[in-house]
Amino acid sequence: MTDRIAVEKGILDANDRAAADLRERLRGGRVYLLNLMSGAGAGKTSLLVQTLVRLRGRWRLGAVAGDLETRRDEERLRAAGVPVTQINTHGDCHLEAEAVAGALEEIRWRNLDAVVVENVGNLVCPAEFDIGETDRAMLLSVAEGHDKPAKYPLMFAESRALVLNKIDLLPYTDFDEEAALRDVRALNPAIEVFRTSVRTGEGVDRWCAWVDGRIRAARG
């Protein structure tokens, strides 16, 4: 015979639970976790290398790189001289809490002050998945267009910080900074905005100072 059973469960509940569990453990260990997101090619790895190099003297840092394939980001991040591991999703367009928790174990997160997770390059899906992070930050490069906040609102709405990268390319693009930031602030009035060029170094110090402050706040 047929029976109707009430389920009333969110399909992402399993990930949410894993993320909450990880968040709890990170808090207990006073380790700061930054979830760094962006579309593909916005400059996450480059910015992260600079960030790790500048802050590794003050904090015990680690990094986790997420990509569908290759260990190229891991190699680049390793050059910053911190423990790094790579997650290859082989098709999954985002990272989830369970995989991140496993990667953190690999780099022995309990001996660290802060870890940055470089999420899969994708403006859509990573925003939907809690990975237990303390903060979410994202990059948008000026070459991607000022209409991206409107087209991909969730990631902008959920990030604590936005790094507007590749500003050295502004003269070669039609990027309308005012329009982009207007949309960003409508989605997320409290978001902190950093203008950077990792190539020239402009603005990178200010971004690193923010990360430094967030690590300090997390460690009480």
Chain residues in the site for another protein (CB under 8 A): 1-15, 92-94, 122, 124-125, 128, 149-150, 153-154, 157, 183, 185-187, 189
Choice between 9 and 57, CB closer to another protein: 9
Burial per residue of 44-54, b for 16 or more beta-carbon CB atoms within 10 angstroms, e otherwise: bbbbbbbbbeb
User: What is the distance of C-alpha 38 from the center of its chain?
Assistant: 7
Choice between 8 and 178, CB closer to another protein: 8
How far, in Å, CA of 21 to CA of 132, rounded? 8
**H helices of 136-192, where?**
148-151, 153-158, 177-187
Question: Least CB distance from residue 133 to another protein, whole Å?
Answer: 18
Question: Least CB distance from residue 5 to another protein, whole Å?
Answer: 5
How far, in Å, CA of 33 to CA of 103, rounded? 13
Burial per residue of 133-161, b for 16 or more beta-carbon CB atoms within 10 angstroms, e otherwise: bbbbbbbbbbebbbebbeebbebbebbbb
Choice between 68 and 169, CB closer to another protein: 68
Question: Least CB distance from residue 92 to another protein, whole Å?
Answer: 6
Contact 127/154 with Cβ under 8 angstroms?
yes
Element (H, E) at 73: helix 72-78
Choice between 145 and 153, CB closer to another protein: 153
Choice between 20 and 79, CB closer to another protein: 20
Residues near 220 by beta carbon (within 8 Å), at least 6 away in sequence: 30
Choice between 28 and 91, CB closer to another protein: 91
